[in-house]
Amino acid sequence: MRKKLVVGNWKMNMTRAEAAACVETFVEQVSTGHDADVAICPPYLAISVVHDLLKKTPIETGAQDVFWAEKGAFTGSVSAGMLADAGVSYCIVGHSETRGRFGKLEVPAETTGYFAETDLTVNLKTKALLERGIHPILCVGETLAEREAQNTDTVIQDQLKAGLAGIDGAEFAEGVIAYEPVWAIGTGMTCDSPEASRVCGMIRTTLAEIWDEDAANRVRILYGGSVKGANAHELFSQPDIDGGLVGGASLVPDEFHRIVFAAK
Ligand code: PGA
């Protein structure tokens, strides 16, 4: 039986002082009484302050991105070793805001994101994290155009096969996949729960094809995209959804608290 996991992705929000205030309130509300594993992914500069406050709690610290090289002339980048040193145990890779869709920089800005992550760099980052004992949260998901063209499943299968190439199931056992339909992120449009569950089930079947059923059954598969207190229980009760990757609602302690308690 997989334990539910709720991860807050703060994106580019929170100064260190704001982060400390948010975590202090949240920790008071959430130290006991729920059944989920919980992690918070602040921006890089707030990682230390958040980790210091979370150290004595079961809540874990995550990061939102990583660079795959160990060290060197990579201006602006942060390595998996640096994240491990700062106490990070989860790290998001391949979020739609950091993927350059199809690896092409000339794709319009609204679909590209500014970081031009490709399936190849997602794969390199995932391997770098595993080498350092950090659990990757590998994000996959289709755009609205891909959904309307009935390409949802193939887009996601391709992202999984490329993102996980050369990684074996035992190595990824504590890794996480997040299904994040691009059209549902930050838009208030949630994928309806049966469909979100169907896609998460399809992801598990794909993992079983890549590895085997045992390995696939160990991986937690989250749903992300406009998760909030009001819809979390319904989403998390679906058989194939093991928790949530939460953006906007994770910035509000009361709301994130409701989501964590919805994960039974
Ligand atoms: P959202 O973001 O909850 O604000 O839609 C989710 C995410 O981007 O991980």
| pLDDT in 10s for each residue of the chain, 264 residues | 799 999 999 999 999 999 999 999 999 887 677 789 999 999 999 999 999 999 989 999 999 999 999 999 999 999 999 999 999 999 999 998 888 644 444 455 555 555 678 899 999 999 999 999 999 999 999 988 899 999 999 999 999 999 999 999 999 999 999 999 998 888 888 899 999 999 999 999 999 999 999 999 999 999 999 999 999 999 999 999 999 999 999 999 999 999 999 997
| The one catalytic residue among 34, 51, 95, 135 | 95
- 71: CA distance to ligand 1 center in Å? 30
- Residue 180 CB less than 6 A away from ligand 1: yes
174 is catalytic: no
- 194: CA distance to ligand 1 center in Å? 19
CA distances from 125 to 15, 28, 64, 80, 163 (A): 26, 34, 12, 8, 9
- Residue 224 CB less than 6 A away from ligand 1: yes
24 is catalytic: no
**3-class DSSP state for residue 14?**
coil
User: Which residue has the CA at smallest separation from atom 1 of ligand 1?
Assistant: 247
Structure tokens at 24: 């202090």
pTM of the full structure: 0.94
Across the strands, what pairs with 223?
179, 244
CB of 195 closer than 8 Å to CB of 152: no
CB of 215 closer than 8 Å to CB of 207: yes
Cα gap 136→160, rounded to integer Å? 13
